[in-house]
Amino acid sequence: MQSHIFESYFGKYIDISPEALEFLNASFQEMNYSGREMIVESGGYAKYFYFVLSGVQALYIINEKGEKVILGFSFKGSPSGAFDSFITSKPSHFFLEALSPSKLIGINKQKFDELFERFPEFYKWRALFMEDILLGRISREVEITTMTAKKRFDAFVKRCPPELLEIPQKYLASYLNMKPETFSRLRALRD
Amino acid sequence: MQSHIFESYFGKYIDISPEALEFLNASFQEMNYSGREMIVESGGYAKYFYFVLSGVQALYIINEKGEKVILGFSFKGSPSGAFDSFITSKPSHFFLEALSPSKLIGINKQKFDELFERFPEFYKWRALFMEDILLGRISREVEITTMTAKKRFDAFVKRCPPELLEIPQKYLASYLNMKPETFSRLRALRD
DNA sequence: AATAAAAATTGATATAGATCAATTAATCAC
DNA sequence: GTGATTAATTGATCTATATCAATTTTTATT
């Protein structure tokens, strides 16, 4: 694995010692998923924490009607995983699915825990990283609780990363907490 | 300040050295707010990270119609603060307001930062603490995106801490992302 | 390229919850 | 305690978005 990957993922927040870098190199493994392949099943355990090298993945739950409700996407450069389960070591409430052929690097829970035991300075990364994730989630929460479908759509269009233009728009609709029909109608208003 | 307070807030995740305990003691200060007093204004800077000794506080934003949209409450035993601003040192998007007379202990940003410089083992606390907060926020996000008003109401009734029975129910309604009229009607169905 | 499957579009209709409005109940300030 | 605010309730109506349904477009498969 190329070390510069870890520089970009961890180095944003902390300096990585050569020993730690070696440990990371030895602990992360590359994993490939085909499009439409499940990475974590709800009810199963999230065994890995990932960084994405390519492809798009969706984190979702299934509601009472059996519909996917998408909480977020990950793609090149993002962290990925079913954090609830990975953090708590309890069965996941979420599904994590590759929406397109995906290359990820993952570290298992045991190695992840070992990382912090052996290199406690990584807790700084973990704290700042979690803060970033938290701020992102809060900002989605605010959008969903305060904005109309149209506003959410417009705001999303402005910030939509190119990777997400490749996936079926019904997933984008779900992420924006609206039906595909609504998404389509809002789209028609624009272009 | 009594040291056992810090045991309960930090000790859940890490061991606190006597030196660190002394630093905490010297850094946190007690602060009092009357009911309906603003603690952080949107657009202002969140200068403190708090733990609550008594009273109830609400974190909210004001939507386009000028209505408060409540994201969360804090009360005895909870952390409190406008984390977005405190973490980023940018103006807050949120308001934090005491809904009832409140006693908090707070540490300012400078001391907070110094805490981690001098006692980096506290990053472990910060990481695990943020993970807890994150899981809580995700679970609200799931409720709001997947449940009907009635289900959210029922779920909330089951877990509602006694402190929140003391505040006007229009705030609970807002937290559950519904109008006071809806809350009232759902309530009438129950009792 | 032809066929099948999945996704997107478009129209008609339904509905959960919002809004508006009036009344009653609770809390606050003096 | 009394009047004044503020909150809660209840009813009537409205609306954004969901739902249902039919058609077209796109994508995948052989």
pLDDT tens, residue by residue, B8-27: 999 999 999 999 999 999 99
Q: Map out the domains of chain B as residue ranges.
A: 3-132, 147-191
Homologous superfamily of the A3-132 domain (CATH): Jelly Rolls (2.60.120.10)
The closest alpha carbon to B149, from B125, B122, B107, B184, belongs to: B184
E-only strand ranges, chain A: 29-33, 37-40, 48-54, 56-62, 68-75, 79-80, 95-98, 102-108
**Quick count: other Cβ atoms within 10 Å of Cβ A41?**
15
Indicate the pTM of the whole model: 0.95
Phi and psi dihedrals of B40, rounded to 5? -130, 135
pLDDT tens, residue by residue, B127-168: 999 999 999 999 999 999 999 999 999 999 999 999 999 999
Work out the angle at residue B53's Cα, subtended by the Cα atoms of residues B52 and B58, and round it to the nearest 5 degrees. Answer: 40
Region of residue A122 (left: phi > 0; alpha: psi -120 to 50; beta: else):
alpha
Longest dimension (CA), chain B: 55
How far is Cα A109 from Cα B51, in angstroms, rounded to an integer?
31
pLDDT tens, residue by residue, B75-128: 999 999 999 899 999 999 999 999 999 999 999 999 999 999 999 999 999 999
Which residue ranges have CB below 7 A from strand D?
Answer: A 65, 148-150, 177-179, 181-182; B 168-170, 180-181, 183-185, 187-188
- Of A120, A133, A141, which is closest to B71 when you measure between CB atoms? A141
Check B126 against A123: CB less than 8 A apart.
yes
Give the amino acid at B93: H
How far is Cα A129 from Cα A79, in angstroms, rounded to an integer?
10
Stretch A16-42: mean pLDDT = 94
- Of B124, B138, B177, which is closest to A145 when you measure between CB atoms? B177
